[in-house]
Amino acid sequence: MPQNLDAVAVRAWSALALDALGQAREEIDAINVYPVADGDTGTNLYLTMESAAQAVDAAFTGLEPARPALAEAVRAMAHGALIGARGNSGTILAELLRGMAQVLSAEPEGHGGDARHSEGARLALALDRASQAAYRAVAHPVEGTVLTVAKAAAEAADTAATGSPDCSPPDSAAVARAAYEGACAALDATPGQLAVLGRAGVVDAGGRGLVAVLGALVGALSGEKVRPRAAGGGHARVESAEQAGPPQGAPAVLTEPTQLTAPTDPATCADPAPGGAGPAFEVIYLLEADDAAVDRLRLRLDALGDSLVVVGGDGLWNVHVHVDDAGAAVEAGVEAGRPYRIRITHFGLGDAHTVRTQAPPRERAQRGIVAVVPGDGLAALYAEAGATTVPARAGEPPGSGELVEAIRRAHAREVVLLPNDAGLRHTAAAAAEQARSEGVRVALIPTRSAVQGIAALAVHEPDRRFDEDVVAMTSAAGATRYAELAVAERQSWTTAGICQAGDVLGLIDGDVAVIGPEIGRTATAVLDRMLAAGGEMVTLVLGDEVADSVAEGLEKHVRDGHLAVDTVLYRGGPQAPLLLIGVE
The pLDDT value recorded for residue 245 is 37
The pLDDT value recorded for residue 119 is 84
What backbone torsions phi and psi does residue 220 show, to the nearest 5 degrees?
Answer: -70, -35
Residue 173: pLDDT band with limits 50, 70, 90: very high
The pLDDT value recorded for residue 581 is 93
SS3 content of the chain, % helix, strand, coil (to 5): 50, 20, 30
Cβ(532)–Cβ(483) below 8 Å: no
The pLDDT value recorded for residue 479 is 92
The pLDDT value recorded for residue 176 is 94
Q: Which helix (H) or strand (E) holds 497?
A: strand 497-499
The pLDDT value recorded for residue 484 is 92
Over the chain, what is the mean pLDDT?
83
- pLDDT winner (highest mean) among 85-89, 189-193, 558-562: 189-193
Going along the chain from its start, the domains and CATH numbers come out as 7-261 (1.25.40.340), 281-351 (3.30.70.120), 365-478 (3.40.50.510), 481-583 (3.30.1180.10)
DSSP 291-330: HHHHHHHHHHHHHHEEEEEEEEETTEEEEEEEES-HHHHH
Helix orientation angle between 41-60 and 7-30, rounded to the nearest 10 degrees: 160
Q: Is the pTM of this model over 0.75?
A: no
User: Hey, how many other C-beta atoms are within 10 angstroms of the C-beta on 407?
Assistant: 23
State the SS3 of 331-353: HHHHHHCEEEEEEEEECCCCEEE
**In degrees to the nearest 10, what's the CA dihedral of 285, 289, 293, 299?**
20
Residue 280: pLDDT band with limits 50, 70, 90: confident
Query: How do residues 88-111 score in pLDDT, each as one tens digit?
Result: 899 999 999 999 999 999 876 544
Q: Name the percent of the chain lying above pLDDT 90.
A: 52
Task: Using the predicted structure, report yes or no on whether residue 573 has a pLDDT greater than 60.
Answer: yes
Angle at 347 between CA 270 and CA 19, to 5 degrees: 85
Task: Compute the average pLDDT of residues 330-336.
Answer: 92
The pLDDT value recorded for residue 166 is 56
Please give the Cα distance from 329 to 274 (Å, whole number): 20
Query: How do residues 35-79 score in pLDDT, each as one tens digit?
Result: 877 778 898 899 999 999 999 998 887 666 667 899 999 999 999
Task: Using the predicted structure, report yes or no on whether residue 254 has a pLDDT greater than 50.
Answer: no
- β-sheet with 481-487: strand ranges across: 511-516, 504-508, 481-487, 579-583, 537-542, 566-571
